[in-house]
Chain A
């Protein structure tokens, strides 16, 4: 009986496998927009800039502090960031923000806070932090201007005037 069953299943499988590829593609739709994105991007990852739209050219940072942006950034950080990050060097859930703008480039910070997941996957500095903190930084859905303002608030915290 067992042998019979195996043979039966085998026959079913063989008959079932014919042309299976086509049927399947018609039926399922691929949910992974992110996969497509990944395949489009160049294989070289710039660890100084990070993954995302922001570059040294387009973040629009000048030497002097933009006080209005920094003030707005503080309000945003109070809602979306300060549960996990202190303004000092002390680690809470994530690292303290003191000195972060000296350690990392502006475009790297803005890319990371705008969309953390791709950088958690590949950035060596972020991965090292993850080993320490053990909590993936959540995507807090910051808009472009919100990311910029939060970055300005970090600069203010680091003494930029």
Chain B
């Protein structure tokens, strides 16, 4: 019976494949007969890997399974999500606070998983907010955003959030240089060279709690920091940042920031920076940034404004920063699993330079410099070069590694992935992508221990790959089997938002730690209602606090009278369930925000300000049982001057008028 079912599903998969195969397009050449089988995970079976994919302009993080490409969850991070109440409930609003106030959206590009000894450890995943510079930490036991920290002195947090091999620091380099926060920013734009600076933030991560803190920043010349990666193994202690616009243009960058034959990869000795900080060489600068943290005991976020940051000015030290010349506006900046090689991807170059960490150390020791760039020693290109991958394709962007000595580089302009050997620099294989590939991901592919079984390419353009959906088409991921010599395309799947970077890890590193419920007896929310007996409605001036419980399948109280126009009603709903996968939702007619989605044992609060008198139904939005449709109630709202008493209840205790 089971076999039959699987055969039936296979048949459907193959019919689909067959139909695709008959379409006279170039895609046929890329798909071979056993592709569907390789990506097939039978119904009821778990995937082998989790894949965390940035949502780009959606501001969120999507969680897929590999090799199936099935979407499990969209984790709200920087953007509000009415479906989950994220940014709408009273508890979650502080999480999106910034020095600009409540910012309900961002552009998230790069997830990076925490590491121990250079290997992904499955504890947390960090994500950058590109627009209003922030870094988020997502807890992989709850798959929820646990913390968001804003970055002072920064704008366009693109070169972020890459981490050191024991998650000592999460690093964030600013893409847009700007005048520092404590300087007057009201200056002529063409004073860029004089007034604009690029800051690199080193965010420390508490080993136990994961809590982030900006340990220090390094003030660098005003250029654009694009991407970065930490050294590892022998290069642990160093960080590498690709820079473009070393021309320091402030207008028409498309032309004016593409003038130089070579820009740079900035190599930072962060162990040295730590020493200077410990020696008191950091300057305290006054800034203003938000630090928002979620407390799982109170089920609430809090936001604190911080006023100071420690800054090391690159000009004060001559052994902190070095420039590695890198052709043509480098984008990706990737360090191989051995930590010996740094791959720069000059997005406008027709080759891929690979730099040697050992040669770089030797050149620094010998002061083998080729002058300086705004006071930073510039290493000689030939002295630090391991070699160049010749004619790899057009528009190299990003490189991932399989742990077997091979690198995989995405080619945006020629829409392909090129596999090459790191030692010999020889191109071994190339496969097309559909189309305009950006980032690549191999599970653990930027760590010391990649799991080189699959590679995923994230594409910007899908024209003609999926059924059309009007002018806006989906973006996509493409899954390749890389276990053999040749890369083999085995699956296409659409993604939410625009996928940039992604991370993937074996499922058994994460799934055993997944939280199933929040224990009701550990709920420390100040308005928690632990048991229906405690449910009540309390007036405090114009504020009305409803202590409400939800359990299959009723709300308590479900009849509320005595609310008046102009009151602020706070529904504090506690889900009394203690079983996995039984959230309750809560919604009230006309609420100008969203619903609540409350996990078992949790309390969440919806604020509602009724603007007219009348009858207002409320109900559970998450189909919870056969009597879900009965899980509802009424709030009676009376005019501001009415003397209807405040009363509430459920069943026997519901208000009785006798009418």
Interface residues of A (CB under 8 A from B): 5, 8-9, 12-13, 15-17, 20, 23-24, 27-32, 78-80, 82-84, 92-93, 134-136, 138-142
Query: Which of B33, B46, B625 contacts A29, CB < 8 Å?
Result: B46
Contact A141 B519 (CB under 8 A): yes
B38 contacts chain A at the CB level, 8 A cutoff: yes
Contact B579 A139 (CB under 8 A): yes
Contact B45 A29 (CB under 8 A): yes
Task: Enumerate chain B residues within 8 angstroms of A141, measured Cβ to Cβ.
Answer: 517, 519, 578-579
B211-254 interface (Cβ within 8 A of A): none
Task: Enumerate chain B residues within 8 angstroms of A20, measured Cβ to Cβ.
Answer: 6, 10, 37
Task: Enumerate chain B residues within 8 angstroms of A9, measured Cβ to Cβ.
Answer: 11, 14-15, 18
Bound together, the chains give a CA A65 to CA B578 distance in angstroms of: 28
Contact B532 A27 (CB under 8 A): no
| Given A12-B33, A82-B531, A24 and B42 contact (CB-CB distance below 8 Å) | yes
- CB-defined A-B contacts under 8 Å, sample of 23: A5-B19, A9-B11, A9-B15, A13-B10, A16-B33, A16-B34, A20-B6, A23-B38, A24-B37, A27-B45, A29-B45, A78-B531, A78-B534, A79-B520, A79-B531, A80-B576, A84-B551, A93-B552, A135-B553, A135-B625, A138-B582, A140-B577, A142-B578
Q: Separation in Å of the A3 CB from the closest CB of chain B?
A: 13
Contact A8 B21 (CB under 8 A): yes
Contact A8 B18 (CB under 8 A): yes
Pick from A16, A78, A140 the residue with the most CB of B within 10 Å.
A16
Task: Enumerate chain A residues within 8 angstroms of B517, measured Cβ to Cβ.
Answer: 141
Task: Enumerate chain B residues within 8 angstroms of A135, measured Cβ to Cβ.
Answer: 552-553, 625-627
Q: A9-B11, A78-B533, A79-B531 are in contact. List 4 more A-B contacts (CB 8 A).
A: A5-B22, A13-B10, A16-B10, A29-B48
B275 contacts chain A at the CB level, 8 A cutoff: no
Task: Enumerate chain A residues within 8 angstroms of B17, measured Cβ to Cβ.
Answer: 12
Bound together, the chains give a CA A13 to CA B10 distance in angstroms of: 8
Contact B578 A140 (CB under 8 A): yes
Bound together, the chains give a CA A3 to CA B19 distance in angstroms of: 13
Bound together, the chains give a CA A27 to CA B11 distance in angstroms of: 19
| Given A9-B15, A27-B48, A83 and B549 contact (CB-CB distance below 8 Å) | yes
| Given A12-B18, A134-B626, A83 and B554 contact (CB-CB distance below 8 Å) | yes
Contact B521 A79 (CB under 8 A): yes
B556 contacts chain A at the CB level, 8 A cutoff: yes
Bound together, the chains give a CA A134 to CA B552 distance in angstroms of: 11
B380 contacts chain A at the CB level, 8 A cutoff: no
Task: Enumerate chain B residues within 8 angstroms of A138, measured Cβ to Cβ.
Answer: 551-552, 577-579, 582
Query: Which single residue of chain A is at the shortest CB-CB distance from B582?
Result: A138
Task: Enumerate chain A residues within 8 angstroms of B7, measured Cβ to Cβ.
Answer: 17
Bound together, the chains give a CA A22 to CA B576 distance in angstroms of: 44
B36 contacts chain A at the CB level, 8 A cutoff: yes
**Size class of the contact patch on chain B:** 35 or more
B507 contacts chain A at the CB level, 8 A cutoff: yes
Contact A24 B551 (CB under 8 A): no
| Given A82-B533, A93-B553, A138-B551, A16 and B37 contact (CB-CB distance below 8 Å) | yes
Task: Enumerate chain B residues within 8 angstroms of A78, measured Cβ to Cβ.
Answer: 530-534
Task: Enumerate chain B residues within 8 angstroms of A17, measured Cβ to Cβ.
Answer: 7, 10
Task: Enumerate chain A residues within 8 angstroms of B625, measured Cβ to Cβ.
Answer: 134-136
Contact A83 B531 (CB under 8 A): yes
Contact A16 B520 (CB under 8 A): no
The digit string for B33-57, where 1 denotes a CB below 8 A from any CB of A, is 1101110111011111000000000
B408-466 interface (Cβ within 8 A of A): none
Task: Enumerate chain B residues within 8 angstroms of A139, measured Cβ to Cβ.
Answer: 578-580
B180 contacts chain A at the CB level, 8 A cutoff: no
Contact A16 B579 (CB under 8 A): no
Q: Separation in Å of the B58 CB from the closest CB of chain A?
A: 28
B515-554 interface (Cβ within 8 A of A): 517, 519-521, 530-534, 549, 551-554
Bound together, the chains give a CA A142 to CA B46 distance in angstroms of: 28
Contact A79 B576 (CB under 8 A): yes
Task: Enumerate chain A residues within 8 angstroms of B44, measured Cβ to Cβ.
Answer: 31-32
B545-568 interface (Cβ within 8 A of A): 549, 551-554, 556
The digit string for B567-600, where 1 denotes a CB below 8 A from any CB of A, is 0000000001111101000000000000000000
Query: Which single residue of chain A is at the shortest CB-CB distance from B67?
Result: A27
| Given A13-B14, A92-B651, A135-B626, A83 and B40 contact (CB-CB distance below 8 Å) | no
Bound together, the chains give a CA A8 to CA B554 distance in angstroms of: 56
Interface residues of B (CB under 8 A from A): 6-7, 10-11, 14-15, 17-19, 21-22, 33-34, 36-38, 40-42, 44-48, 67, 507-508, 517, 519-521, 530-534, 549, 551-554, 556, 576-580, 582, 625-627, 651
Task: Enumerate chain A residues within 8 angstroms of B37, measured Cβ to Cβ.
Answer: 16, 20, 23-24
Q: Separation in Å of the B331 CB from the closest CB of chain A?
A: 34
Bound together, the chains give a CA A10 to CA B239 distance in angstroms of: 55
Task: Enumerate chain B residues within 8 angstroms of A31, measured Cβ to Cβ.
Answer: 44-46
Query: Which single residue of chain A is at the shortest CB-CB distance from B16?
Result: A9
Task: Enumerate chain A residues within 8 angstroms of B554, measured Cβ to Cβ.
Answer: 83, 93
Task: Enumerate chain B residues within 8 angstroms of A24, measured Cβ to Cβ.
Answer: 6, 37, 40, 42, 45
Bound together, the chains give a CA A56 to CA B580 distance in angstroms of: 29
Bound together, the chains give a CA A84 to CA B67 distance in angstroms of: 43
Task: Enumerate chain A residues within 8 angstroms of B530, measured Cβ to Cβ.
Answer: 78-79
10 tightest A-B CB contacts, nearest first: A28-B45, A141-B578, A139-B579, A78-B531, A79-B531, A9-B18, A140-B578, A83-B551, A83-B532, A134-B626
Q: Separation in Å of the B197 CB from the closest CB of chain A?
A: 50
Pick from B10, B17, B521, B551 the residue with the most CB of A within 10 Å.
B551
Task: Enumerate chain B residues within 8 angstroms of A140, measured Cβ to Cβ.
Answer: 577-579
Bound together, the chains give a CA A15 to CA B33 distance in angstroms of: 8
Pick from A9, A17, A32, A84 the residue with the most CB of B within 10 Å.
A9
Query: Which single residue of chain A is at the shortest CB-CB distance from B13?
Result: A16
Task: Enumerate chain B residues within 8 angstroms of A16, measured Cβ to Cβ.
Answer: 10, 14, 33-34, 36-37
| Given A16-B36, A93-B554, A138-B552, A80 and B520 contact (CB-CB distance below 8 Å) | yes
Task: Enumerate chain A residues within 8 angstroms of B521, measured Cβ to Cβ.
Answer: 79
Bound together, the chains give a CA A28 to CA B553 distance in angstroms of: 36
Bound together, the chains give a CA A93 to CA B531 distance in angstroms of: 15
Bound together, the chains give a CA A42 to CA B625 distance in angstroms of: 31
Task: Enumerate chain A residues within 8 angstroms of B19, measured Cβ to Cβ.
Answer: 5
Q: Separation in Å of the A95 CB from the closest CB of chain B?
A: 15
Contact B533 A30 (CB under 8 A): no
Q: Separation in Å of the A118 CB from the closest CB of chain B?
A: 13
Q: Separation in Å of the A27 CB from the closest CB of chain B?
A: 6
Bound together, the chains give a CA A80 to CA B575 distance in angstroms of: 10
| Given A83-B556, A135-B625, A28 and B532 contact (CB-CB distance below 8 Å) | no
Pick from B15, B22, B531, B582 the residue with the most CB of A within 10 Å.
B531
Task: Enumerate chain A residues within 8 angstroms of B33, measured Cβ to Cβ.
Answer: 12, 15-16
Contact B552 A13 (CB under 8 A): no
Bound together, the chains give a CA A41 to CA B42 distance in angstroms of: 26
Q: Separation in Å of the A21 CB from the closest CB of chain B?
A: 9
Query: Which single residue of chain A is at the shortest CB-CB distance from B577?
Result: A138
Bound together, the chains give a CA A31 to CA B507 distance in angstroms of: 11
Q: Separation in Å of the A126 CB from the closest CB of chain B?
A: 15
Task: Enumerate chain A residues within 8 angstroms of B34, measured Cβ to Cβ.
Answer: 15-16
Q: Separation in Å of the B243 CB from the closest CB of chain A?
A: 42
Contact B48 A28 (CB under 8 A): yes
Task: Enumerate chain B residues within 8 angstroms of A15, measured Cβ to Cβ.
Answer: 33-34
Task: Enumerate chain A residues within 8 angstroms of B552, measured Cβ to Cβ.
Answer: 84, 93, 135-136, 138
